[in-house]
Structure 1
Amino acid sequence: MVHQDWKNILHDWVLTDKADLEQQIKEMEERFSEESQASQDLSNKKKKLEHEMDGLKKDIDDMRLNLHKAEN
């Protein structure tokens, strides 16, 4: 009887531990997914800003060229 009690206790402990680990894995996967999405969003924003900067640089170069032409 005592042996069966210990067996039941260990079985319950293993199931509880397994459930805890599964929950931790689920939470880590969710956090990874959220962080991956945040990283992708930042990457997209960076690309957009780089594109805008390239456009501004072109505008500045055009203004310089027009100013140079106007001076000559």
Structure 2
Amino acid sequence: AGSMDNGDGIVVGWLGHPVFRDKEGHEHFVHRMPTFFERISSSFGRWRADVPFRSAESKYSVEQVGVTVEFYGGELDG
């Protein structure tokens, strides 16, 4: 979290474009759910993983499901 600019509209840093994949290599997309967690779904619209506010509430955590992330462009390219 944090600002990408100093209030002047000029970007001071960008980590890159994240691409999330499961163990089989399928690409997934993040959807922010109100109020405390993100949901990760496949390109087919199926819910594949989540990042909950409380880990005890997770049935499909990114660690359990094996979701990985790669960054393209930006400071974390590769």
TM-score bucket (shorter structure): under 0.3
TM-score by length of 2: 0.15
Structure with the largest fraction of strand: 2
Which structure shows the higher helix fraction?
1
Q: Which structure exhibits the higher relative contact order, with contacts defined as CA atoms closer than 8 Å and separated by 6 or more residues?
A: 2
Larger-gyration structure (1/2)? 1
